[in-house]
Amino acid sequence: MTIETTDQRIIRSEFKPARWLKHRHLQTMFPSLPWAWRKRSPLRREVLNLPDGDDTAVDWLQDADELPKSAPLLVVLHGLEGSAESSYARMIMDAAFENGWRSCVLHSRDCGDYRNRLPRRYHAGETNDIRYFLRTCHEQGQTGPMFAVGYSLGGNILLKYLGESGTDSRLTAAGAACVPLDLYKCSEALNTGFSKFYQHYLLNHMKNSVRQKFDQHTAAFDWNRAMSAETFAEFDDAVTAPLHGFAGMNDYYDKCSSAQFLKDIVRPTLIVNSLDDPFMTPGVIPDRDRISDHVLLEIAEGGGHVGFVDGGTPWRPEYYLPRRLLGFLKEHL
């Protein structure tokens, strides 16, 4: 794909992969290694009681507890089967604290080692939770500006929320990285070549999570079909769709792919995606006429999926995304 820069809504990224980590799969896998981000500041957990009778976990960076609620607040939305322990979440929370910001990770339901109450989990289009959480923060005294960043599936949720909310959003600005803008195309990409490795790994995690919450007698879906699913499409058709009120995988993907919401976003929003992301194809990049004037879509040639390692050494790596995303948000203080 050729990145044209005649329209400032779509720009070429300045990201360059580190000399020692150029391959897209190495970029993708490196951040999950134990030494990829060694700093583990203490977190404080709160339970968010949701309007539908369910609940989820919110992990706050404890070091920032002494900051006033007039300070900026950064809300992080994690990716598929991720949590506040994911390296990308820790990186940007640490960067936010260095800038005098409060921060937290709003977990998707049934994530972060926290089992929610209702017989459901999470999906790529669940925007009610972030909408309710931001309102709750405001009602509890947050007077400083609120920002959000979303990674992968969390980025899809965030962009959908922004498009749905328009001027009603309580966010000042937002950022998203490695977003599966078209769920169909991402599902197909993950069933091709070496990307099947990620699909297999994540499907095993998802099935294990389902087993912790349901069994074949309590599941509100076809248990055998769910446990035998070999692709994301099969799992979403068997589990995600029926658990969350969709007619099937096609209905779920149709309604929740975030590309269709980009034209309705009115808050300053940066999206950083990579052309070599093994979780998707360049075909997910939308045409200019589908992007609001308030959205800046930055396309990198490399970076893998939520990798973007651009320097340092294998033992002290440096990352592009925390600097870029937080830098963009700071421009809109």
8 Å CB contact between 217 and 143: no
Sheet containing 43-49, strands listed edge to edge, beginning at the edge strand earlier in sequence? 10-12, 295-300, 269-274, 171-177, 146-151, 73-77, 102-106, 55-61, 43-49
Catalytic, out of 78, 107, 244, 305:
305
Distance between CA atoms of residues 253 and 3, nearest Å = 26
Residue with tokens 């309580």: 170
Distance between CA atoms of residues 60 and 273, nearest Å = 27
3-class secondary structure, 109: coil
Distance between CA atoms of residues 45 and 51, nearest Å = 19
Please tell me what DSSP assigns to residue 118.
S
Q: What are phi and psi of 185, to 5 degrees?
A: -65, -35
Residues 6 or more apart whose Cβ sits within 8 Å of residue 212: 115
Q: DSSP string covering 143-197, please?
A: -S-EEEEEETHHHHHHHHHHHHHGGG--EEEEEEES--S-HHHHHHHTTSTTHHH
Whether 277 is catalytic:
yes
If phi > 0 it is left, if psi is from -120 to 50 it is alpha, else beta; for residue 242 that is alpha
Question: What Å distances lie between residue 38 and 32, 63, 94, CA to CA?
Answer: 11, 16, 12
8 Å CB contact between 278 and 304: yes
Catalytic, out of 152, 169, 187, 274:
152
Catalytic, out of 129, 182, 236, 277:
277
What are 252's two structure tokens? 């779920």
Distance between CA atoms of residues 37 and 139, nearest Å = 34
Whether 209 is catalytic:
no
The amino acid at 229:
A
Residues serving a catalytic function are 152, 277, 305
